[in-house]
Amino acid sequence: MQINQSIPKVDGMGLVLGRPAFTDDLADDNALIVKILRSPHAYAEIMDIDSTVALKMPEVKCILTHSDVSDLLFSRAGQGYPEPSPYDHRILDKYVRYVGDAVAIVAGTSEQAVQMALKKIKVTYRVIEPVLDFEQAKTAKTKVHHEDGTHSMFPIGHDPTVNLSASYGMEIGAVEETLEACDVVYEGRYYTQPQCHAMTEPHTATAYYDFQDRLTIISATQTPFHVRRIVGKTLDIPLSKIRVIKPRIGGGYGGKQAIHGEFYVAMVTMITRRPSKIVYSRREVFESTYTRHQMRLDVKIGAMKDGTIKAIDMDVLSNTGAYGEHSLTVLMVAGAKTLPLYNKVEAVAFRGDVVYTNKTPAGAFRGYGAVQGNYALESAIDELADQLGIDPVSIRRKNMIAEQETSKIFEIMGEGKEGTAMMIESCKLDECLSVCLEKLNWNEKYPRRQQTDRKVRGVGIALAMQGSGIPYIDMASAILKLNDDGFFNLMVGATDLGTGSDTVLAQMAAETLGVPAEKIIVYSSDTDLTPFDTGAYASSTTYVSGHSVIVAAERMREEILRAGRRHFDSEDVTYDGMYLYCGTSTISLKDLSTLLYYSEHQEQLVTTGSYVGKKSPPPYMVGGAEVEVDTLTGEVTVLNYVAVVDCGMTINPNLAKIQVEGALVQSIGMTLYEDMKYTKSGQMINGSFMKYKVPTRMEIKNLDVSFVDSYEPSGPFGAKSVGEIGSDTPPAAISNAIKNALGIRLNRLPMTAENVWREIKKDKKS
């Protein structure tokens, strides 16, 4: 068996040994260094740019401003075409819309020279009063996009005249009416903050002309094919003249699911005909790439005395910052991947606005809206249970979705448009919940235990769901090639950002072909050499790319059998992966493949497989937190976080576990420690690892991640997805645990020690 095996990642050892593998390792040593002059103002019109002094420096080879580049609008979002994000971005614009927005592109022969050149460029700005408060954006006088041609590819509620990047609403049943008939209605408002991905590799891209005079871009991107399309269309280069390669990436989590530096190096290389590269500084990664969407979520839930939830209403205000990439889709996921958890309601409504502000743009970040939605919804469920006098476990068991059920939301809410109806064929929430409670020791610990005078402990849980790819939109494909010596090349467009997808896909190919996984050599994410894949997002790689690999591998089996039949000159041939058999004769695949290359009926066996999902079966998870609150300092320590996951079959259990552990820690960071801070004029204060604090090893006391037995019939070998599900529960589970410990509901992230301390003081007073 090659699946459900924790084989080491195919690139694991090479990376530990420090082999050159990342974009900056592969860039030409003599590539021109590209840096961006960035706006110091949150909103301004560029009246004049004077680069004459900078251009006099002999080391400076190129300076580009908005008048030198295409003014075509595009969306930076790495999404399927036509994108559900507005086209509101230019390579360089006459207006700068946030502190850190690009003003000029400078390329030179050394880092020092280019840094000096940046200082010598004189820019005259007409400063405009910025919109900084997302709760005031719709009525603000300032328009972040003012008559600048921004538009959407199809209706998404885009209305820049009221600073709306996108807007959405849906209702099933009649929510207000149903709420009125309820015995109990809970209403609550929740806030989440912009969070930074903080991946260790800063965004990096390099460009050069190859020996066929084609523009080649090597970039740390999650979406190489989207990069090729967007660069080609915007710069008016035929796509056949561009190649995009994704090497190893040092982390992404959605933060590299967009265009970042690729335009700059493409333009510099096009003009100078020399290789160029851009390596974002850590500050630029914080200020000038993007963050998670900040949201305000209003939840109303109505239930009857017996605990039956009748109606849920969710109203969201989302802050997309200066540009709207991923604005509509993240908003919709906040509802689409949370509300179906309670599918037995009579009525459910979701609506939201995504507003522009003059702040660092927001974009894709693991969980993609579901984290924010889950925080509000799962906190609200606990509050509702409290009001009803029912415990939080019982209310969930009574109302949560189960196998062979569905929710109308699946067919109504999709990727910016309608979705796809879906019957849930695998859902082990019930079992996940039981296992989680047992591992947490819930019966003994719920709701709270006073440890000392000063320290109190509490436990809390939350359910979550996510998706597996985007049905009818995400396409993936694979090519398999048989080599002499009986091994295979597997070429996939799928993008491994360190997640191990190369490995998992190799395992699936190996299992189908009946060979050990080390016989499959994977090469991925090269727009010339690998077939198409939308890229690493929406938790699609295992499910969608996996299927395409299986198709290609099944076809390869057929091809091998066909070659075998020809070799034995008989129809009666079988194949077990290593050998072909015909009566008493055998030939190893190794020998047959060598014959096929050199001596007999020579032929290169190659197969392809493509796949588009017809559904997006959700992985499910129950997260349970045990926290200890120091009531004198407000410090919250997560003593134990239990995650019990149903992701269908775990193709590689170790890698699945690490995906969940990694996501948990990122979301614990969002829950307790991470926050973006701005000055009154919109300047980010803490754009460095010195001041933006992600959890360290010491904050993590114990993570307990396990998987329940589950099989998704529509999934490759029964698998669903596992990339994002780990992100969703920590904010709610921890907030619920704190509520149980202290009797105080924290409705704003992050729940820093000082914030908790203040709530405790407030609570004492009242």
Residues numbered 207 to 266 that lie near other proteins (CB under 8 A) are 248-251, 253
**Total count of residues recorded for the chain:** 766
User: What one-character DSSP code corresponds to residue 620?
Assistant: E
Q: Does 30 bind other proteins (CB under 8 A)?
A: no
Q: Exactly one of 191, 209, 532, 689 binds other proteins (CB under 8 A); which one? A: 689
The structure tokens listed for 10 are 């195919």
String of contacts with other proteins for each residue 702-721, x by CB under 8 A: -x------------------
- Nearer to other proteins by Cβ, of 287 and 415: the residue is 287
C-alpha to C-alpha distance for 90 and 72, rounded to whole angstroms: 6
Contact residue for other proteins among 558, 574, 685, 709 (CB under 8 A): 685
Amino acid at 363: G
Q: Per-residue DSSP letters for 577-599?
A: SSEEEETTEEEEHHHHHHHHHHT
Longest dimension (CA), the chain: 90
CB 414 to other proteins: min, Å: 29
Residue 119 CB, shortest distance to other proteins, in Å, is 10
Distance CA 416, CA 723 (A): 21
Is 632 an interacting residue with respect to other proteins (CB under 8 A)?
A: yes
Nearest-approach distance from CB 747 to other proteins, in angstroms: 20
Region of 13 please: left (phi>0), alpha (psi -120 to 50) or beta.
alpha
Find all residues with CB under 8 Å of 22, minimum gap 6, and list them: 201, 204, 220, 247, 248, 249, 250
21 binds other proteins (CB under 8 A): yes
- Hey, what are 86's tokens? 């507005």
Indicate left, alpha or beta for 163 from its phi (over 0: left) and psi (-120 to 50: alpha): left
Of 310, 380, 320, which is closest to residue 349 (Cα–Cα)?
Answer: 310
Residue 707: partners with Cβ closer than 8 Å, 6 or more residues away: 644, 645, 646, 647, 650, 653, 656, 657
Q: Does 498 bind other proteins (CB under 8 A)?
A: yes
Q: Which one of 22-30, 294-302, 517-525, 604-612 is the stretch in contact with other proteins (CB under 8 A)?
A: 22-30
Please identify, using beta-carbon distances, which residue of 234 and 752 lies nearer to other proteins: 752
Interface region with other proteins, contact rule CB under 8 A, candidates 209-217, 278-286, 471-479, 600-608: 278-286
The answer to whether 764 contacts other proteins (rule: CB under 8 A) is no
* Closest to other proteins by CB, 514 or 653: 653
Least distance to other proteins, CB of residue 2, Å? 15
Q: Which of 5, 109, 594, 688 binds other proteins (CB under 8 A)?
A: 688
Task: Compute the distance between CA of residue 34 and CA of residue 277 in angstroms, rounded to an integer.
Answer: 6
CA geometry: angle at 108 spanning 106 and 110, to 5°? 125
Question: How far is the CA of 338 from the CAs of 274, 409, 425, 750, in angstroms?
Answer: 49, 10, 18, 20
Secondary structure (DSSP) of 678-720: B-TTS-BS--STTTS----GGG---EEEEE-----TTSGGGB-
Q: Which residue among 30, 139, 200, 599 contacts other proteins (CB under 8 A)?
A: 200
| Residue placing its CB nearer to other proteins in the complex, 55 or 753 | 753
End-to-end CA distance of the chain: 62
Nearer to other proteins, 131 or 249 (CB): 249
Choose between 294 and 666: whose C-beta lies nearer to other proteins.
Answer: 666
Closest distance to other proteins from the beta carbon of 25 (Å):
4
DSSP β-bridge partners for residue 612:
475
Could you tell me which stretch among 82-90, 316-324, 419-427, 631-639 binds other proteins (CB under 8 A)? 631-639
Cα radius of gyration (the chain): 27
Counting contacts by CB under 8 A, is residue 283 touching other proteins?
A: yes
* Nearest residue to 428 (alpha-carbon basis) of 394, 400, 392, 408: 400
Residues 663-682 that bind other proteins (CB under 8 A): 663-666, 673, 677
Nearer to other proteins, 307 or 723 (CB): 723
Q: Is residue 298 involved in binding other proteins (CB under 8 A)? A: no
Please state, in angstroms and rounded to a whole number, the distance separating the CA atoms of residues 673 and 676: 10
Which of 654, 681, 683, 706 forms a contact with other proteins (CB under 8 A)?
654
Binding status of residue 148 toward other proteins by CB under 8 A: no
Range 438-497, binding other proteins (CB under 8 A): 497
Interface characters, 102-121, with other proteins (x: CB under 8 A): ----------x---------
5 lies in the binding site for other proteins (CB under 8 A): no
Establish if 59 lies at the interface with other proteins (CB under 8 A).
no
Which residue among 70, 142, 281, 308 contacts other proteins (CB under 8 A)? 281
- Report the nearest approach of other proteins to the CB of residue 619 (Å): 17
**270 vs 753, which CB is nearer to other proteins?**
753
> Could you tell me if 347 and 174 are in contact, meaning their C-beta atoms sit under 8 angstroms apart?
yes
Q: Does residue 690 bind other proteins (CB under 8 A)?
A: yes
CA distances from residue 621 to 341, 430, 499, 559, 668 in whole angstroms, order as listed: 11, 10, 19, 40, 16
> Is residue 35 part of the contact set for other proteins (CB under 8 A)?
no
658 lines the binding site for other proteins (CB under 8 A):
yes
Contact (CB, 8 A) for 407 and 401: yes
Give per-residue burial for 21-47: e unless 16+ CB within 10 Å, then b. Answer: ebbbeebeeebbbbbbbbbbbbbbebe
HEC string for 451-462: CCCCEEEEEEEE
Binding region for other proteins (CB under 8 A) out of 64-72, 520-528, 593-601, 683-691:
683-691
Site string for other proteins, 737-756 (x = CB under 8 A): ---------------xxx--
Q: Which is nearer to other proteins, 620 or 673 (CB)?
A: 673
CA–CA separation, 733 vs 626, rounded Å? Answer: 9
Return the residue of 655, 732, 734, 737 that touches other proteins, per CB under 8 A. 655
CB of 722 to other proteins, least distance (A): 12
Q: How far is the CB of 687 from other proteins (least distance, A)?
A: 9
The label of the residue with tokens 């970039």 reads 219
Burial of 148 (0-12, 13-18, 19+ CB in 10 A): middle
Q: Does 519 sit near other proteins (CB under 8 A)?
A: no
Q: Which stretch binds other proteins (CB under 8 A): 184-192, 375-383, 574-582, 687-695?
A: 687-695
Strands 475-482 and 606-612: antiparallel
Does 189 participate in binding other proteins (rule CB under 8 A)?
Answer: no
Taking the least distance from each CB to other proteins, the nearer of 97 and 248 is 248
Task: Kindly tell me which residue out of 141, 601, 680, 697 binds other proteins, with binding defined by CB under 8 A.
Answer: 697
CB of 249 to other proteins, least distance (A): 6
Whether the upstream peptide bond of residue 238 has omega within 30° of 0, thus cis, is no
* Residue 212 to residue 704: CA distance in whole angstroms: 53
Alpha helices (H) in 121-276, listed in sequence order: 175-180, 224-235, 262-272
Give the interface segment with other proteins, choosing from 13-21, 125-133, 179-187, 468-476 (CB under 8 A): 13-21
By CB under 8 A, the count of residues binding other proteins is 74
Out of 120, 143, 282, 565, which residue is the one contacting other proteins (CB under 8 A)?
A: 282
Q: If binding is defined by CB under 8 A, does position 15 make contact with other proteins? A: yes
Rule CB under 8 A: say whether 661 interacts with other proteins: yes
- DSSP conformation class of 119: H
The nearest distance, CB 18 to other proteins, in angstroms, is 3
Tell the smallest beta-carbon distance from residue 43 to other proteins (Å).
Answer: 22
